[in-house]
Chain A
Amino acid sequence: MSETIEKIKTSTGHVLRTEEMVVNMGPQHPSTHGVLRLEVVLDGEIVVDVIPHLGYLHRCFEKHCEHMTSYQQVIPYVDRMDYVAAMTNEMAYVVAAEKLLKIEVPERVHYIRIIMSELQRIASHLIAIGTFGIDMGAFTPFLYYFRDREKILELFEMTCGARLLYNYIWIGGLSHDIPPQFVEKTKEFCTDFKKTLQEVNDLLNYNEIFIKRTANVGILPKDLAINYACSGPMLRGSGVNWDLRRDDPYTLYNKFEWDVIVGKGEMGTVGDVWDRNIVRQREMWESLRIIEQAIANIPEGDVQKAIPKRIRPVAGDAYGRIEGPRGELGFYIVAEESVTPYRIKARAPAFVNLSVINEISKGAMLADLVAIIGSIDIVLGEVDR
């Protein structure tokens, strides 16, 4: 740190020294996306060091899960971890639990789960890009995206009655079957939403000022991203072609046709903030493709047939992982001969992705730091758990 302090000698021989300033960015700050606290050492506008301080939203979820009366009761807790993408959280836990319990679910359940988690991915990316726009000073795209997120929330509400925390995907099935008008409404949404995507591309992602602000900023090189175990759009933005939906397929993802989006450094260097953002933007197109394929041929069946009456696994452990909106979301469940899990450990992608912030924001400007935080797309509920 100290080498950045410049020592300037004046003509009279006095030493002029510029001093660094330590500022607290957060926990109450408009662009830390929650209650993240960053201790930022600044030399003028240049960031010298960033130390993230976590734990302001720590709610002991993992410990709570050990004191349930059933494995099913854990699901509302995992909902509250990443509160902008509750469906995928449930999905991850359920994938792990079904692996542990060796439950086979009907095909209809798989299809509905895929539709729900892709809709959830879109909803989550909408918030990510929208708030990222606010960080850059563009307020309007945020509201355009929120309008369309509202439509997704309406679909969820129609299905399970909740708008944010669903408790929808259960071990072995779903809490409700989809309502009759769901298919029609989802198709409608898919057509309408493409227009907004194009609109925001024009307004934000390919805006000259926006490109100037985000290209070549916060560059995360390929090997650094791998070494820090980054995942999701963060990893793909750095040019690593890795997506669990394709590389470690869970449910029925290998049945659908879609592409893994990788950052190519079109506007600057591979792995800059613009790349991470555009990966999210393009992933929404791919999610739409998956939804359209899935919605067109949902098989018939009973979604609650495979739900076990009483869950009491044999002692053992299982790790289930899925590609959440933020990256690899995994649950490691250790079971003993009991109705409650012995230990649940969540691998939260936002937490892992956040750890790289110190490496990529040194030497950036304060305004870039805001851009970098925005591009990591953290949800503090998941970081702190």
Chain B
Amino acid sequence: METLQTILREPIITTVLLALIPLVFLLIYALVTLYGEMKMAAHIQNRLAYMENGWHGTLQPIADMLKLLQKEDIIPTAADKFLFILAPYLVFMGTYASFAVVPFSSVFIGSNIDLGIFYLVAASSLVVVGLLMSGWASNNKWSLFGALRSAAQIVSYEIPGVLAILGVVMVLGTMNMQTMTQLQDGGIHNWLILGGNFPLGQKLALLPFMFLLFVIYLLSSMAEVNRTPFDLPEAESELVQGYNTEYSGMKFAIFYLAEYANLFLVSAVVVVMFFGGWTSPFGEFMSGPVWGSFWFVLKGMFFVFLNIWLRWTLPRLRVDQLMYVSWKVLTPFALFCIIAIGYIMVM
């Protein structure tokens, strides 16, 4: 940030530029992931997917985007016009605002605030409001169904998710995402999934609980981004397309972008909390600001891949089963982990 400031000398331009970097990253990432998802899905299913545009269809995401740009932007007559237009932007805003505290590398973080992860949880909850808004404003019963389901689902799954985050915060003693990463620096053995940078006894005691918290957070993050097996809000076989049934053209694209952005966001949180963020797995080797962002994106993309992989393999849960998993399985386990971690950290 300081470097940028010295070059540009104008604080406003610096801030705007700084804010645009994640956006540029997101747009490129969304295109790559769109292509990647289609290709992976195809290879899981014995198909070829895009093959026509460019080498192995690499230009297809761009063509898709251009198509969406040209599409007629339909707003249903009976829709609540203001909310209908606002909703997709609100959904994207919630996700994009959260990227402010994601440490992409040791020198790049949008805003290095001490309440980092707390802010992230708060900002990403805005998404629910947007989804509800879109479902309500569409004036479509299926959309409303999808919106209500997604509200219930995201709110329920935020609880085990936040409890898992709380466990990690208790171990590391900070909510600042940059500090969280720095505390895990020094190689793969210092990552929290392997017990973190602690004396051996404590490390071994933490290990099972960290793994449990990781699984809990991973599952609840999948539910928060509406991915299979938790993709009920947009379960196409039941609810047509869920909350975004009535959306077309660029508004639909923004929903899509928000979904992919959200996918990377939760993966980024997993990476920062358990897999050492931008730190190199080999200690000093291949570390530094540029390698840092490489490692960060690589680790993040791994979890994006995991999500895609599961999506094309598993069937979908039912609403009551979804709630059961959240309230009767994940939440008690998360609470148990927190108590255990409390004991371990005090001892």
Complex-state Cα separation, A370 to B142, whole angstroms: 14
Complex-state Cα separation, A366 to B141, whole angstroms: 13
16 A-B pairs besides A29-B240, A136-B315, A144-B46 with CB distance below 8 A are A31-B238, A137-B237, A137-B315, A137-B316, A139-B41, A140-B44, A203-B313, A207-B314, A209-B314, A209-B315, A210-B315, A212-B321, A213-B318, A366-B145, A366-B238, A370-B237
Residues in B whose Cβ lies below 8 Å from that of A144: 45-46
Residues in B whose Cβ lies below 8 Å from that of A306: none
Check A365 against B319 for contact (C-beta < 8 Å). yes
Q: What would 10 A/B residue contacts be, using CB atoms closer than 8 Å?
A: A134-B237, A135-B237, A137-B315, A140-B313, A143-B46, A207-B314, A213-B316, A213-B317, A213-B321, A367-B318
Interface residues in B250-305 by Cβ distance below 8 A to A read: none
Nearest A residue to B313 via CB reads A140
Q: Does B81 contact A (CB under 8 A)?
A: no
- Asked if A367 meets B238 with Cβ closer than 8 Å, knowing A143-B47, A209-B229, the reply is yes
Interface residues in B128-152 by Cβ distance below 8 A to A read: 141-142, 145
- Asked if A140 meets B237 with Cβ closer than 8 Å, knowing A209-B229, A365-B318, the reply is no
Q: Does A237 contact B (CB under 8 A)?
A: no
Complex-state Cα separation, A143 to B46, whole angstroms: 8
Check B45 against A31 for contact (C-beta < 8 Å). no
Residues in B whose Cβ lies below 8 Å from that of A316: none
Complex-state Cα separation, A134 to B44, whole angstroms: 15
Nearest B residue to A147 via CB reads B46
Q: Does B246 contact A (CB under 8 A)?
A: no
Q: Which of B231, B237, B315, B320 contacts A30 (CB 8 A)?
A: B237
B49 CB to closest chain A CB, in angstroms?
12
Q: Does B108 contact A (CB under 8 A)?
A: no
B28 CB to closest chain A CB, in angstroms?
27
Residues in B whose Cβ lies below 8 Å from that of A207: 314-315
- Total A-B Cβ pairs within 8 A: 74
Q: Does A263 contact B (CB under 8 A)?
A: no
Residues in B whose Cβ lies below 8 Å from that of A203: 313
Nearest B residue to A133 via CB reads B315
Q: Does B312 contact A (CB under 8 A)?
A: yes
B193 CB to closest chain A CB, in angstroms?
25
Complex-state Cα separation, A212 to B321, whole angstroms: 8
Interface residues in B193-247 by Cβ distance below 8 A to A read: 228-229, 231-232, 235-238, 240
Residues in A whose Cβ lies below 8 Å from that of B231: 137
Residues in A whose Cβ lies below 8 Å from that of B315: 133, 136-138, 204, 207, 209-210, 213
Complex-state Cα separation, A144 to B44, whole angstroms: 10
Q: Mark A123-153, 1 if CB is under 8 A from B, else 0.
A: 0000000000111111110011001000000
Check A140 against B312 for contact (C-beta < 8 Å). yes
Residues in B whose Cβ lies below 8 Å from that of A367: 232, 235, 238, 316, 318-319
Q: Mark A157-192, 1 if CB is under 8 A from B, else 0.
A: 000000000000000000000000000000000000
Nearest A residue to B228 via CB reads A137
Residues in B whose Cβ lies below 8 Å from that of A45: 319
- Asked if A139 meets B316 with Cβ closer than 8 Å, knowing A23-B142, A31-B238, the reply is no
Nearest 7 interchain pairs by C-beta: A137-B316, A138-B315, A31-B237, A143-B45, A136-B315, A135-B237, A137-B315
Interface residues in A355-385 by Cβ distance below 8 A to B read: 365-368, 370
Nearest B residue to A40 via CB reads B141
Residues in A whose Cβ lies below 8 Å from that of B314: 137-138, 207, 209
Check B316 against A209 for contact (C-beta < 8 Å). yes
Q: Does A8 contact B (CB under 8 A)?
A: no
Q: Which of B228, B236, B240, B317 contacts A212 (CB 8 A)?
A: B317
Residues in B whose Cβ lies below 8 Å from that of A143: 45-47
Complex-state Cα separation, A309 to B206, whole angstroms: 86
Nearest A residue to B237 via CB reads A31
Residues in A whose Cβ lies below 8 Å from that of B240: 29-30
Q: Mark A211-236, 1 if CB is under 8 A from B, else 0.
A: 01100000000000000000000000
Interface residues in A83-141 by Cβ distance below 8 A to B read: 133-140
Complex-state Cα separation, A366 to B149, whole angstroms: 12
Complex-state Cα separation, A366 to B232, whole angstroms: 11
Check B235 against A137 for contact (C-beta < 8 Å). yes
B169 CB to closest chain A CB, in angstroms?
32
B132 CB to closest chain A CB, in angstroms?
16
Nearest B residue to A203 via CB reads B313
Residues in A whose Cβ lies below 8 Å from that of B318: 212-213, 365, 367-368
A50 CB to closest chain B CB, in angstroms?
14
Complex-state Cα separation, A31 to B241, whole angstroms: 12
Nearest B residue to A209 via CB reads B315
Q: Does A21 contact B (CB under 8 A)?
A: yes
Complex-state Cα separation, A135 to B318, whole angstroms: 12
Nearest A residue to B317 via CB reads A209
Complex-state Cα separation, A368 to B145, whole angstroms: 15
Complex-state Cα separation, A136 to B316, whole angstroms: 6
Residues in B whose Cβ lies below 8 Å from that of A139: 41, 45, 312
Nearest B residue to A374 via CB reads B237
Complex-state Cα separation, A210 to B237, whole angstroms: 15
Complex-state Cα separation, A186 to B286, whole angstroms: 57
Q: Mark B9-53, 1 if CB is under 8 A from A, else 0.
A: 000000000000000000000000000000001001111000000
Complex-state Cα separation, A137 to B145, whole angstroms: 17
Complex-state Cα separation, A134 to B315, whole angstroms: 8
- Asked if A370 meets B313 with Cβ closer than 8 Å, knowing A137-B228, A137-B229, A137-B231, the reply is no
Nearest B residue to A24 via CB reads B141
Interface residues in A1-47 by Cβ distance below 8 A to B read: 21, 23, 29-31, 45
Complex-state Cα separation, A30 to B234, whole angstroms: 12
Complex-state Cα separation, A140 to B40, whole angstroms: 12
A252 CB to closest chain B CB, in angstroms?
37
Nearest B residue to A214 via CB reads B315
A103 CB to closest chain B CB, in angstroms?
44
Interface residues in A40-74 by Cβ distance below 8 A to B read: 45
